[in-house]
A and B are shown apart, each in its own frame.
Chain A
Amino acid sequence: MANNILVFIEQRNGEVKKASLEAIAAAKKLSGAFGSEIKAATIGNEIKGLEKAAQQGAASIVHLKSAELLNYSTSAYADLLNNYIAENDIDIVIFANTAMGKDLAPIIASKIDAGIATDCTELKVNGDSVIVTRPVYAGKALVDVKFTSSKKVITIRPNTFPLGEPVESSVEINVMEQSNLNLSSKVVELKKSGGKIDVAEAEIIVSGGRGLKEAENFKLVEELADVLGAAVGASRAVVDAGWRSHSEQVGQTGKTVSPNLYIALGISGAIQHLAGMRSSKYIVAINKDKDAPIFQIADYGIAGDVFEIVPKMIEEIKKIKEN
């Protein structure tokens, strides 16, 4: 088996997503063991930053281009990628587990009749087999999964595979103009949610829970998030209470996140919440109940009043940022 690997490079608004570069870093774990090459393919109109894919180790880069491909289209993207896979005899396709990657990967898996594993946090080769690790039950457990099919589709969890040091590369970007697209499904409009950072992509998340007492007090959470350049998250309780939008919910029926820093304010730590954020690199908890489960997984905690502590945090962090 040739074990030819393709990494799909996602762009949004013409910018390459960091999570796709991480997918190349992940792909190296397989290409190294198989002695195979990593090919990269991207779909869009004008795209900036594609050289970064080469610098991360892609041996070839194809850009399937059309003005009509600026925005995502499940049907058009899937057809183009499927053609590329067939023409290049690809065995393993790797995506970042983003909104686009999660949508596209299963369509491709059905098209090429491949085994599929999503949201993987580790990839390895054992003999001839590809084995991946992925969280299940929102991270309450992990499974090691072995592929038994020759074709494989993998999505990798963002913010999990560190980027390599960029290397010099002479790989050229092969731009191929596309026409006669299958636009049976297409994006007609993008709605931004206020230009804020999304919890799924943030390196720092400041989350609030019922301990904030009322919706209005979330301005404390927002203020701390602003100072840190962080995304605002929320517990299920406050989303269900209508204080915050579901897109901010962290936990088993919200988003599973693994930022570098997760700050939980007034969150006691229901099991479904902990499941969604426990893989964060550092966890800080501020909660007045020192027996709250959140302290069981927090690296640092202050068992006190959020209304007293958070303003002080904002003040201290502002001081640092100013220096």
Chain B
Amino acid sequence: MKIVVCVSHVPDTATKVKIGDNGKTIDPKDVTYVVNPYDEFAIEEALKTRDAVGGEVVVISLGTDANKESIRKALAMGADSGILLKSDSYRDSLSVAKALAAEIKNQEAQLVFFGKQSVDYDAGIVGQLTAELLGFNSVSVVVDFKLEGEKITAEREIEGGREVIETSIPCVITAQKGLNEPRYASLKGIMAAKKKTIEDKEAAAAENYTEILTMSKPPAKSPGKILGEDASAVPELVKLLREEAKVI
């Protein structure tokens, strides 16, 4: 089976966000970019599935040459080949989804994995947008995945529990932490990845339907009171929560 996994290349979660001079994006200076953490679970599940049912895993990433680092990482973990959909300018989620859907269609993939959201813009929707554009089934925020023939049984996280969902391929799955333990790339894997191909393609054009006007820092929270250093401060704390904050 042809399996596609879509990865994004994002600032590490330890990044201190500084707003760029344009007032619309972060300042990329001194920022370390990594594979989107949720995409690692997507990659792992794609590899596990391929190893179980056979076929190949194609990694797709939309962005600039810098994204090849993340594609390369997926190849080092064991994916078979990569595609960079080149796109220089900002695209909103639907525009990204349209470009990905065009390529996934071209690949004739039956199963597509995404991370449940990328940790930069946090929209958490590109997987399902893409699924619907392709006319595929979809299950989002997946913590357990099983494929038997064409049948999929997946568990997704909801408030206070999980939903067990039955559907079938073709399908898009968006991965949540807990789905699996992503493997580390072995030295052999890293060496092998160097020989695997990453194809450059122009991302299909698609208009943005949303525009970022400004990016700003959230209002600074002024540090509050340290009430004490031991349990003797507790009565005052409880009194403040009750009378000043009125939250208990």
Binding site for B on A (CB under 8 A): 12, 71-72, 74-75, 78, 98-100, 102-103, 105-107, 109-111, 113-119, 131, 134-149, 184-193, 195-198, 200-201, 204, 228, 245-247, 249, 252-254, 256, 260-261, 270-272, 278-279, 281-284, 290, 295-305, 308-309, 311-313, 316-317, 320
Cα(A252)–Cα(B163), bound, Å: 23
Cα(A281)–Cα(B241), bound, Å: 11
- Asked if A149 meets B17 with Cβ closer than 8 Å, knowing A107-B131, A142-B215, A284-B241, the reply is no
Name the interface residues of B216-231: CB closer than 8 Å to any CB of A. 216-218, 221, 223-231
Q: Would you mind naming 5 contact pairs between A and B with Cβ atoms under 8 Å apart?
A: A118-B122, A189-B163, A195-B160, A297-B223, A301-B226
Cβ-defined contact, B237 with A313, below 8 A: yes
B38 close to A (CB within 8 Å): yes
- Asked if A185 meets B167 with Cβ closer than 8 Å, knowing A196-B160, A290-B229, A302-B237, the reply is yes
B66 close to A (CB within 8 Å): no
Main secondary structure of the interface of B (DSSP, over half): mixed
Interface string of B191-230 (1 = CB under 8 A from A): 0000000000000000011111111111001011111111
Residue of A nearest to B11 (CB): A137
Cβ-defined contact, A141 with B227, below 8 A: no
For B137, give its contact among A185, A190, A245 (CB under 8 Å): A185
A187 proximity list for chain B (CB < 8 A): 163-165
Cβ-defined contact, A295 with B226, below 8 A: yes
> Number of A-B pairs whose CB atoms are under 8 Å?
285
Cβ-defined contact, B231 with A312, below 8 A: yes
Number of chain B interface residues as a range = 35 or more
Cβ-defined contact, A190 with B164, below 8 A: yes
Main secondary structure of the interface of A (DSSP, over half): mixed
Residue of B nearest to A297 (CB): B221
Cα(A279)–Cα(B218), bound, Å: 9
A149 proximity list for chain B (CB < 8 A): 209-210
Name the interface residues of B92-124: CB closer than 8 Å to any CB of A. 92-94, 97, 119-124
Cα(A190)–Cα(B155), bound, Å: 9
A74 proximity list for chain B (CB < 8 A): 137-139, 165
Cβ-defined contact, A137 with B26, below 8 A: yes
B52 close to A (CB within 8 Å): no
